[in-house]
Amino acid sequence: MATVKLLADNEMAPEARAVLDDIRKTRGTDFINNFWRALAHDPALLKRTWESIKQVMAPGALDPLTKEMLYIAVSATNGCDYCIHSHTASARAKGMSDVMLMELMAVVGMANETNRLANGLSVPVDAAFRVGED
């Protein structure tokens, strides 16, 4: 239950509706997930978030599946259940198998563990890791 109404297509401003149209066209499906219906209260935020997602998740030096897995890693670390579900679905649609998901989780778990060991003991960064830095 969202703290704002999830807007139906006919309840949002035309600028918001235009963004939904682009989401539908880009994804090739009529389905719009709840996240966008919540953001639709603020057409500028909706548009900026969608345009950024399109740009950031597009193929580049990293492929789209790797990007989806990075998204899951962050969402698992932050405990965002919505994002875990939506990006696990996206990653599966792009080819992530159960075996890949479990390996991803193993890395996420390990990183969260050693992050706290390093922080908790306040281990200083080795000079060797600073070579070439500003």
Binding positions for a second copy, 24-83, rule CB under 8 A: 31, 33-35, 38-39, 41-42, 44-45, 48-49, 52-53, 55-57, 60-62, 66-67, 69-83
The strand ranges marked E within 34-108 are none
Tokens of 12: 């949002």
**30 by DSSP, 3-state: which?**
coil
Nearer to a second copy, 25 or 119 (CB): 119
Q: Count of residues for the chain? A: 134
Among residues 10, 14, 30, 119, the one that binds a second copy under rule CB under 8 A: 119
Q: Which stretch binds a second copy (CB under 8 A): 9-17, 19-27, 84-92?
A: 84-92
- Report in angstroms how near the CB of residue 99 gets to a second copy at its nearest: 5
User: Residue 19 interacts with a second copy (CB under 8 A)?
Assistant: no
Q: How far is CA 108 from the centre of its chain?
A: 15
Q: Looking only at residues 86 through 115 of this chain, which bind a second copy when binding is defined by CB under 8 A?
A: 86-89, 97-115
Q: How many Å is the maximal CA-CA distance in the chain?
A: 59
Binding footprint of a second copy, residue count (CB under 8 A): 85
Tokens of 81: 């259940």
Tokens of 94: 């792009």
Separation of alpha carbons 99 and 63, rounded Å: 19
Among residues 6, 13, 17, 94, the one that binds a second copy under rule CB under 8 A: 6
CA angle 19-86-102, nearest 5°?
150
Nearer to a second copy, 21 or 51 (CB): 51
